[in-house]
Structure 1
Amino acid sequence: MDVKFQDTQANNTKQLNSSKQPSHSKRSKTFSVAEAVVKILEDMGVQYAFGVSGGAIAPVWAALHQSSIQVLHFRHEAGAAFAAIEAYFASDRPVVVFTTTGPGITNALTGLLAARWEGAKVIFVSASTSAPQRGRWACQETSTYTMPSAGIFTSGQIFHYATTLESSDELPEVSRRLALGLGQPEGFVAHISIPTNIQTSSLKTSLPRVTLSHGVVTATEETIAKSVQLLCEGPFAIWVGFGARGAAKEIRQLAERTGAAVMCSPRGKGIFPENHPQFVGVTGFGGHESVLRYMQEQRPWHILVLGTRLGEFTSFWNPVMIPRRGFLHIDIDPKIPGTAYPSIETFAVQSDVRLFVKGLLRYFPQGLGLSTARSLPKPVHNVVHPSRADRVLPNILMSVIQQLIVEGSDALVMAEGGNSFAWAINLLQFVKPGRFRASTGFAAMGHTVTGVVGAAIARQGKAVAIVGDGAMLMLNEVNTAVKYQAPAVWIVLNDGRYNMCEQGMTCLGFNAVDAAIPQADFVKIAQGMGANGICVQKEYDIQAALKKAMASPDPFVVDVLIEPTRLAPIGSRLDSLIWQGATNY
């Protein structure tokens, strides 16, 4: 990656959408720090900047508008951050989030924590109070007098790299650190805080040309040979996670050459085709009973774990998922293997998953596959014929989504935290990678209802969010989608309650709870914000409504009145909570 600073003012072509407002700030003869920072971001491949403006960040905001970066002004900072995560995964390019001082920063933190958990590449640019005004109760003062410094303005658990830019002399080091972080294979979340007076100060130093060459982490030939030896000891299974999304072709080849059973994490849906005869199901939250049956009836000697942390939502640390002789765990992050099951023998390998699997394939020639697929358990998807009930059964809705959206389009499908997670993970089937997204780690409500906007914009095509009414009321960016004509679709499971909470509490033995929500009319809400919408009250109306939504060039909300009594497939989550002590029995 080359990172350099040069005056391309005369040659730059503004690539701004029609909704952008021209900057009224007078351009200085020399570059300001704000302009220099934006130029660095351009050179690092940033195409989008999402955020909410404010007086303290005005110079950076104006500089962004004068650049080739497309600037989208959101309604809430958390929404901007969630959208940035999904724009990154849709485009594979780093995305900027910008906010003003004080609450602008704290509002964004939930989304930025989610970015860290998800492994996205996001650069957070915020304002801070100028030095002469610190400690004097400036408006939304952002300094060590009023806000905690550790974690927000320093590198740590939120940000891989964080700094406050106090002088233009620090720009070369900031540039170098950003380039290093963005060049690494795993995620990278950075925070550059710039005092308002520094943003407008003149650049006092030239930025050096930084040429970085990043080698991909891979296992040695000796490690690959040892892995082959372990896998050849007896039948093995492959556990596919989101971190293996770049190795779909190689994983399928390995499975078919060896006859290995394949399972996937909730985020890993579609990396290995879910209709493949060797696929035994999704593990963890919303997962399939067929996986547990396979592990109980045909327990493999080893499990080859590819690109998943095996965290609670993927494994629930279930002892049934432990193979006879341990795990072979491959991940780009050396801290991950062995963490979920610390007492179980694990052969840990730090490597890019694709390169590792390619290495294995040299030892498993064509035609070696075992004829085991017929005996493997398969996921069961219960099909219920439509009825004339006044409410829609969730599994019927998922069946039509499968037919019209998953199989009938190339749209990205996303699932929001809550029962939407469970229904989508359990009932939807994907046969290609990159078609499904869910945040099952940090799992913040509001991630998908706002992230769908970033995904639709970055992929320049349809993105569909399956969400609950609680999440839709908590945080959405429908109005932002209207402004920038993002082809986003929201399918709202409207049951008038936080139903995962209500159902879960009842199953745990806590009956005296109130999770009800006054029934909202999301069609009127959508229309009030400039979007289109349609209400679905009966199952026979689902197909026509979804066809209309997918054909619409504008943002579209489908308000589906869901039967609330149908229990979502969340049993494994409840078992985990009971095991952790969250029960009244």
Structure 2
Amino acid sequence: MNSAELLVKCLENEGVKYIFGLPGEENAWLLMALEQSTIRFILCRHEQGAAFMANLYGRLTGNPGVCLSTLGPGATNLITGIADANMDRVPLVAIIAQADSHRLHKEGHQNIDLVSLFKHITKRSCTIFHPDSIPEITRKAFKTAREEKPGACLIELPCDIASMHAESRLKPLRAENPGRPLPDRDLIKKAATHIMASNNPIIIAGNGVIREEAYRELRIFAEKTGIGVTSTFMAKGAVSKCSEQNLFTIGLEAEDYECMAIKEADLVIAAGYDFVEYSPKKWNPDGNDSHKKIIHIDYLPAETDECYMPNIEVTGDISEAFRILTSIISNSETHFDLSFQHETRKKIIKDLESHKSINQKGLISPQKIILEISKAMSDKDILISDVGAHKLWIARYFHTENPRTCFIPNGFCPMGFALPGAVGAKIACPDKKIIAVCGDGGFLMNMQEMETASRIGANIVVMVWEDGEFGLIKWKQDNLFGHHTDLHFNNPDFADLARAFGWYGKRITDSAAISEELYKAFNCGKPALISIPVDYRENMKLSEHLRDISKTN
């Protein structure tokens, strides 16, 4: 066997079932080896799309998604998708081809130092220089990608090494992943003492609660104690939307009801909380001078920040920490006053339902669109948001029963994420409805993957919110300066575009038709696109509403 074949055996050993990527001259040996393997190679139309597909596959399965490129421009096209995986804490392994190893030290055609380039956006980047190192390099890449906090790893395979003979004695290393360290019981008891002594505690649930499968124990803790939970964008579903303890989602730039509830609290339990999503300065601006106590519960110690100085840090298995806390506190007498949280939940629900009975024609409000999407989806189906103004509306108005059913990239926040991400999600979960919600700006950044979806039979639904502008930037400029720069662009006829790719396509201008068209789209037997002209006049109305919330409280 050659080195490429050995690498593929190692990938099979790691449980890899799909690789998303593009071909090139320098990765030809690897592609030939994949042809003889159990791994399915998903041919994509752009490397960024391939990285986003692998990214969503990794988010859903918990196993590293794998993407593949050739050298030079093929590899650099992966950058945005890899950076997103790394910052959003997604396990991903990228395999890139490279020029022959004997010319890497000098200038040459398409030859740049890719390992150095990727070093700052991965957890580990490494070149294979000899077949003997392939089992170790592969095992380390997958182990590192999975370890907390998960992220991206890069393996570079020069063309001449790929074709080199590999000894038959070389075999994949045993694919075992370490267990989770148990948290310190004495620290948990101290944390419990602080919680029981507080008057108005609250929980901020972050992405780590979902990654570490700790949401079940969090739900039990919240139910037994009555303490409210607000989730970050990437922790949606940590608590059921129907739970009386669910205070919905925190993360908007302006102060919302949830932020007011945190400000009222005298103690914050931050579980799996990650600064990349929402800075602690937003909810604890006084930092060291704050009278608010913070209990940090996470797999790793807290990041240092002047606005996040925990009184107690409980590190290790988050599930176990909540199990012990529940046992202690639920069997003890507490005197919490959670009335402000109860009123907060009532206000949020009233706000969520304000557009429920309104029918609209022409421009349709974000709230109404999201309400119709929610009605069309089961509790186990999956919504994937792109980045743009719609992302903030989804964060505020789309709520879930289960984790991993709403994906909002909120660390690196790249536009163009949702369409290819939806393809990766459909491959990971073929029996679920998958909808990607995009702005017209972000959708056109990776629309080439419509062909991929059609070719491989990934029957996703894409909904494009049309406004003919970069709406989020307009919203922010209007808030900051009172006006905006020229952000207008022209769009194609999206329904015609969909049909050109062999998709079902429909444009909707009546909110009463959304439900029926979503049903048709999900059941048409092929990928589908629905475009809707969105009424983004609601953006500034929301800004005013948020200012009123801040003033009132």
User: TM-score, length-normalised on structure 1?
Assistant: 0.85
Displacement after TM superposition at 1:425 (Å): 0.9
Partner of 1:8: none
More helix, by proportion: 2
Q: 1:43 to 1:149 in 2, by over 3 A?
A: closer
Instruction: Specify the alignment match of 1:525 in structure 2.
Output: 497
Q: Write the letter of the residue equivalent to 2:441.
A: G
Distance 1:533 1:409 in 2: 25
Three-state SS of the structure 1 residue aligned to 2:505 is strand
Q: Does 1:243 align with 2:243?
A: no
What letter is aligned with 2:472?
M
How far apart are residue 196 of structure 1 and its match? Answer: 0.8
Q: Which runs of 5+ in 2 are unaligned?
A: 548-553
Between the aligned partners of 2:402 and 2:129, the Cα distance in structure 1 is: 47
Match of residue 294 from structure 1: 261
CA deviations over 1:362-391 (Å, ceiling 9, x no partner):
213369687856652111315234345322
The answer on whether the counterparts of 2:369 and 2:511 sit within 8 Å (CA) in structure 1 is yes
Which of residues 449, 463, 482 is equivalent to 2:434?
A: 463
1:230 paired residue number: 194
- Structure-1 residue corresponding to 2:414: 444
Q: Measure the CA separation in 1 of the matches of 2:238 and 2:42.
A: 31
Hey, what does 1:177 align to over in structure 2? Answer: 140
Which of 176, 201, 204 aligns to 2:164? It is 201
**Equivalent residue, structure 2, for 1:341:** 307
Aligned to 2:457: 485
Distance (whole Å) between structure 1 residues aligned to residue 541 and residue 97 of structure 2: 44
Q: Any residues of structure 2 matched to 1:50-69 within 5 Å, and which?
A: 50-69=20-39
Residue 132 (structure 1) shift = 4.3
SS in 1 for 2:282: coil
CA distance in structure 1 between the aligned counterparts of 2:243 and 2:528, rounded to whole angstroms: 33
Q: 536, 546, 562: which is aligned to 2:508?
A: 536
Please tell me whether the aligned partners of residues 288 and 426 of structure 1 are also in contact (alpha carbons under 8 angstroms).
no
Instruction: Measure the CA separation in 2 of the matches of 1:554 and 1:395.
Output: 27
Task: Sort the Cα spacing of 1:565 and 1:157 in 2 relative to 1 into closer, same or farther, 3 A.
Answer: same
The residue matched to 1:470 in structure 2 has which SS?
helix
Q: Partner of 2:381 in structure 1?
A: 411
Match for residue 228 of structure 2 among 254, 261, 269: 261
Counterparts of 2:235 and 2:100 in 1: how far apart (Å)? 45
Find the counterpart in structure 2 of residue 22 from structure 1. Answer: none
- 1:498–1:182 Cα change, 3 Å: closer
Q: Does the Cα contact within 8 Å between 2:495 and 2:531 map onto a contact in 1? A: yes
Residue type at the aligned position of 1:174 = I
In the TM superposition, what is the alpha-carbon distance from 1:330 to its structure 2 partner? Answer: 1.5
2:170 maps to 1:214: no
Structure 1 residues 135, 163: CA separation in 2 closer, same or farther (over 3 Å shift)? closer
Residue segments in structure 1 that go unaligned for 5+ positions in a row: 1-30, 576-585
Distance 1:138 1:371, change over 3 A: closer
The answer (yes or no) to whether the contact 1:51–1:77 under 8 Å persists in 2 is yes
Whole-Å separation in 1 of the counterparts to 2:542 and 2:414: 17
Q: Is the 1:496–1:520 Cα contact (8 Å) retained in structure 2? A: no
Query: How many percent identity over aligned positions?
Result: 22
1:275 corresponds in structure 2 to 242
The letter of the residue matching 1:472 is F
- Asked if 1:548 corresponds to 2:520, the answer is yes
Report if aligned partners of 2:232, 2:249 keep a CA contact under 8 Å in 1: yes
User: Which deviates the most, 441-450 or 229-238?
Assistant: 229-238
> Mean alpha-carbon deviation: is it higher for 301-310 or for 275-284?
275-284
After TM superposition, the structure 1 = structure 2 runs for residues 36-185 of structure 1, keeping only pairs within 5 Å, are: 36-134=6-104, 138-139=108-109, 141-142=110-111, 146-147=112-113, 149-152=115-118, 156-182=119-145, 184-185=147-148
Kindly report the root-mean-square deviation, in angstroms, between the aligned alpha carbons of the 2 structures.
2.7
Kindly provide the CA deviation profile for residues 320-343 of structure 1, in whole angstroms up to 9, marking residues without a partner as x: 697734211112232x4443724x
**What's the CA shift for 1:279?**
2.2
Quote the offset at 1:479 in angstroms.
1.1
- What is the SS of the residue equivalent to 1:497? coil
Q: How much does 1:63 deviate?
A: 1.1
Aligned length: 532
Distance change in 2, residues 1:471/1:454 (3 Å): same
Cα deviation, residue 522, structure 1: 1.3
TM normalised by structure 2 equals 0.89
CA distance in 1: counterparts of 2:540 and 2:381, whole angstroms? 24
Shift of 1:208: 5.3
SS in 1 for 2:435: strand
Aligned partners of 1:383 and 1:396 also within 8 Å: no
Shift of the 255–368 alpha-carbon distance from structure 1 to 2, 3 Å rule, reads: farther
CA contact (8 A) 2:192 2:328 kept: yes
